[in-house]
Structure 1
Amino acid sequence: MIRKPDFTRGEEAKRLLLIAAPLMAAYIAEFSMFLTTKLVVGSLGYKHLAAVGLGGSLSFEALVVTMGLLSITGVLAAQAEGAGRKAEAGHAARQGLIVAALLSIPLGALVWNLDAVMRWTGQDAEVAALAKPYLHVLSFFALPTLLFTVLRDFVAALSRTGPVMAITVAAVLVNWTLAEGLVHGRWFLPEMGIAGAGAAKVIVAWAMLAALTLYIWRKPALRGYGLFRARLRFDPAIVKVIFRLGLPIAGLVGVEAGLFSAVGLLSGIIGAEMLAAHQVLMGWIGIPFVIALGLAEAAMVRVAHGVGRGDPAGARQAGLVALGIGVAILTLMVAAPLLLAETITRIFISADDPGFEAVSGIVSQLMVIAAIFQVFDGAQAIMSRALRGVRDAYYPLWLGAFGYWALGVGGGWFLAFPMGLGGVGLWVGLAVGLIVTACLLTLRFLAITGRAAKVSSRAPAI
């Protein structure tokens, strides 16, 4: 028989939103930092916007792949929390900090050399040259950002996401102030040009890490987890689990992030105007996506809690409630890009810029496609993270590889170049890839949790 969940759908929704609401606010704020950086640099010209937009996007996507691997520490902590084992939750986070420090070295080196990747992929030579000083400074954000990620996943696993929101929202203002000052030489700060945007991000990353560390250190309710009880000891068994489950998750995040990176790179081959338009479009698309991401992270925690307390039906319900809420919110947001395409372009590029008309025309044309697929983009984010909560890592990787790359990148390239549809073809392929992947991941979640829920014992079935 199918066992009833421990909570009703209404109770689950409340518990989910308690975690998700601060995370959504935090992710919107975090995304706002990328937007403000584009706004500050965009005043220098559309090629500067293209350089920081593409360089920042490639850096961020390399970062989120690494964060995908580290996210398994949040799953381990959440399952331990659901089972009432505080020491295990803290131990998982401690090992995550060690792994994060090690991974920051290759990540920083990769970001340093991304300008070479831009040249190898046929980007505008001026755009690649402009991105170089920005990337060289930005590469030093790897260590503080990855350490912050582990601590953020740890407090999220304990359903304590409020401080993450407060820290990230405050960071938006600090980031804008520093970027404006360091890029343009204002408020007695040195004028560094495009490199100043990277310096601002690095300073803010260290400040955010310090603030969250201080909160965890001083919060009495978190002392029982032993996160800072003794020196960090390397535990091969836990680290092995982190890599065994984290690598396929990183692979899934990589093929997802690679989809947008590939579309960005192919946009640059079409021309600088198309690349600038792509950055403007991503400026909007990121907003509904980070809202869905907050729900997705909360779904991962709630699903993992269900597994930890031996309630597989509750784990299934948590994922489906998150999906329903996410689809409802994103559907309500569909009208915004259709009505505000030119306005959104003006936010990033001055109307007096010689490339404004061309960029604005492309944005208006592609916003229709963007409005359609944003719902499915959010749905696939929620379902992929819900599957992490049940430690299902390998199957989603292959589903994502098929949907994102075979259909998304491959189909977009075919429509854009052999079929001659240009930017429209790229974005149609992007939409198809996201829609198909969202459907496949949802079916996978229904299948794996449906089997686990058909039990009568209290033992974890997932």
Structure 2
Amino acid sequence: MNSIVSEQAGSGWASELRATFSLAWPLVVAQVAQNALFTTDVIMMGWLGPEYLAAGTLATATFNPVLLLGGGIVSSVAPLAAQALGARQIRNVRRTVRQGFWVAILIALILLPIVWQVRHILLAMGQDPQLAAMAQEYMHIAVFVLFPGLGLFAMRSFLSALGSTRIILYATLFGVFLNAIGNYALIFGHFGFPRLELRGAAISTVLTNLVMFGTLLTYALTHRRYRRFHILARFWRPDWARFWEIFRIGTPIGLTLMAEVGMFAVAAIFMGWLGTSALAAHAVALQCASFAFMVPLGLAQATTVRVGLSFGAGSNQGIGRAGWTSLVLATGFMTITCILFLTVPSVFVRLFLDPGDPASLTAFMMAGTFLAIAGLFQIVDGAQVVAVHVLRGLNDTKIPMLIALFGYWCVGMPIAWFLGNEDRLGGVGVWIGLATGLTFCAIVLTARFALRERLGLVDRRRMVLSA
């Protein structure tokens, strides 16, 4: 176990770059693969037709914010476990993971009946009744992904804190393969299975997440390096101090994720008011932008661990090196994707929509325009996600949550609503609003990290490291 903790002891920028890259690249690829799960769903729903794609988009736009609310809370396992490792308090790692499972189960039980009402929620938002009914058909099965899905957040956080990110990559890649086969069989009725269309996509998603969770849990329980933690030993024994600490640190994280994803979800609602073609085009552009976003997101998750290790060890220089290294890497990558989305958007749109199909031509043209605009906010999107994850490594979650809420909902959403009116810029205006909200958050969150010492964010008394 000393080898795990000692990884945070390296000094210098080159050493930090190597350590960050070693920890991050499996997480980056795993995030890309995780997004490929949803990309596969979007592609195959698009093959069914624009109305299926639109219904699936409405369903996931409603579900993802609540899933990430719960996932964000559970993901506080990562910084808490990393800080415990940095301070060499191994017992706290075990306590944190077990209570992370408790939190995951409780949140799933609370959220399930809420998501079950998806049709009524969509109708209240003025969506087409037929699309709302189709979305409900999908979500009444997909909602059960809450249990293995939130369990995955706990397992990924635990293994990431210990530096074991390759198994996360392997499990996710297997999940992509399994989901693609499941979708092909169940959506379209191949290999002797019935044609279930949207219900088939939902079944495949639930089974895939269940297998991925089972894989990571089995690995942690049987591998000689990690079984010493005994994460399921005395599972039913409460540890209320750690349980509430996960909620205290994690709830702002979950609300921050929900605020951002909710902004995009409401943008999908705005697009639904503009018609099925606009909504389908939005889904394609958002999927492409999200795919690129997985790289800085995986890098950011590794950065939370790197910052947490340095914070636990009391190394202010290590905190600075970890944060700025990741910010440079993230913005550099997103600059490349910005150029691609601006110059050749049609190359990406063709993966989802056929321009030769008259029914898809309007959506194809709109998607190309939306994706070009998405390229403009790629850089700030990468910066803001790394900045907020750096601050999480310092247990700084409440103020970043307020910054996100203000930036997304008081800056981005009003602009998207005003400019997105059909009499103004329509779908283009919605995307301009999204870009503005992300830009605000990137600037303010990065400035907060830069001023971390003046703001007292590196004071080790802010850590929770009970004996």
Query: What is the TM-score of this pair, normalised by structure 2?
Result: 0.93
The residue number in structure 1 matching 2:250 is 246
Pair 1:424-2:428 in alignment:
yes
SS at match of 2:226: helix
The residue number in structure 2 matching 1:381 is 385
The residue number in structure 2 matching 1:20 is 24
Unmatched runs of 5 consecutive residues or more in structure 1 = none
Pair 1:280-2:284 in alignment:
yes
Structure 1 residue aligned with 2:366, among 342, 362, 365?
Answer: 362
Moved more, 261-270 or 122-131: 122-131
Pair 1:182-2:186 in alignment:
yes
Pair 1:226-2:230 in alignment:
yes
The residue number in structure 1 matching 2:169 is 165
Pair 1:400-2:411 in alignment:
no
Cα distance, 1:306 vs structure 2: 0.7
SS at match of 1:220: coil
Q: Is the 8 A contact 1:100 1:143 kept in 2?
A: yes
Q: Is the 8 A contact 1:312 1:453 kept in 2?
A: no
Q: Is the 8 A contact 1:403 1:437 kept in 2?
A: yes
Moved more, 342-351 or 210-219: 342-351
Q: Is the 8 A contact 1:70 1:100 kept in 2?
A: yes
Cα distance, 1:39 vs structure 2: 1.3
Cα distance, 1:454 vs structure 2: 9.1
SS at match of 1:355: helix
Structure 2 residue aligned with 1:58, among 62, 66, 69?
Answer: 62
Pair 1:120-2:119 in alignment:
no
1:12 maps to amino acid: E
Q: Which runs of structure 2 are paired with 1:257-336 in the superposition (5 Å)?
A: 257-336=261-340
Structure 1 residue aligned with 2:145, among 141, 146, 154?
Answer: 141
Pair 1:97-2:101 in alignment:
yes
The residue number in structure 2 matching 1:441 is 445
Distance in 2, matches of 1:49 and 1:65, equals 24
SS at match of 2:75: helix
SS at match of 2:381: helix
The residue number in structure 1 matching 2:133 is 129
Cα distance, 1:375 vs structure 2: 1.3
Cα distance, 1:460 vs structure 2: 6.7
The residue number in structure 1 matching 2:6 is none
Distance in 1, matches of 2:201 and 2:22, equals 34
Q: Which runs of structure 2 are paired with 1:144-155 in the superposition (5 Å)?
A: 144-155=148-159
2:429 maps to amino acid: G
Distance in 2, matches of 1:74 and 1:58, equals 26
Cα distance, 1:309 vs structure 2: 0.8
The residue number in structure 1 matching 2:85 is 81
Structure 2 residue aligned with 1:111, among 101, 108, 115?
Answer: 115
Pair 1:413-2:454 in alignment:
no
Q: Is the 8 A contact 1:313 1:452 kept in 2?
A: no
Distance in 1, matches of 2:18 and 2:453, equals 21
Q: Is the 8 A contact 1:183 1:191 kept in 2?
A: yes
Provide, for residues 373-402 of structure 1, a one-character-per-residue CA deviation record: whole Å limited to 9, x for no partner. 011111111111111110111111111111
SS at match of 1:348: coil
Cα distance, 1:111 vs structure 2: 2.7
Change (3 A) 1:217 1:454: closer
Distance in 2, matches of 1:139 and 1:418, equals 33
Q: Is the 8 A contact 1:70 1:246 kept in 2?
A: yes
Change (3 A) 1:140 1:461: closer
Moved more, 32-41 or 52-61: 52-61
Query: What is the TM-score of this pair, normalised by structure 1?
Result: 0.94
Pair 1:206-2:210 in alignment:
yes
1:310 maps to amino acid: G
Cα distance, 1:154 vs structure 2: 0.3
SS at match of 1:232: coil
Unmatched runs of 5 consecutive residues or more in structure 2 = 1-8
Moved more, 337-346 or 236-245: 337-346
Cα distance, 1:359 vs structure 2: 1.0
Change (3 A) 1:185 1:449: farther
Distance in 2, matches of 1:56 and 1:257, equals 11
2:153 maps to amino acid: T
Cα distance, 1:245 vs structure 2: 1.8
Q: Is the 8 A contact 2:274 2:422 kept in 1?
A: no
Cα distance, 1:171 vs structure 2: 0.8
The residue number in structure 2 matching 1:193 is 197
1:138 maps to amino acid: A
Cα distance, 1:461 vs structure 2: 7.9
SS at match of 2:287: helix
1:364 maps to amino acid: G
The residue number in structure 1 matching 2:11 is 7
Cα distance, 1:53 vs structure 2: 2.0
1:131 maps to amino acid: A
The number of equivalent residue pairs is 455
Cα distance, 1:453 vs structure 2: 9.1
Cα distance, 1:229 vs structure 2: 3.0
Distance in 2, matches of 1:358 and 1:144, equals 38
Q: Is the 8 A contact 1:45 1:353 kept in 2?
A: no
2:295 maps to amino acid: I
Distance in 2, matches of 1:409 and 1:419, equals 17
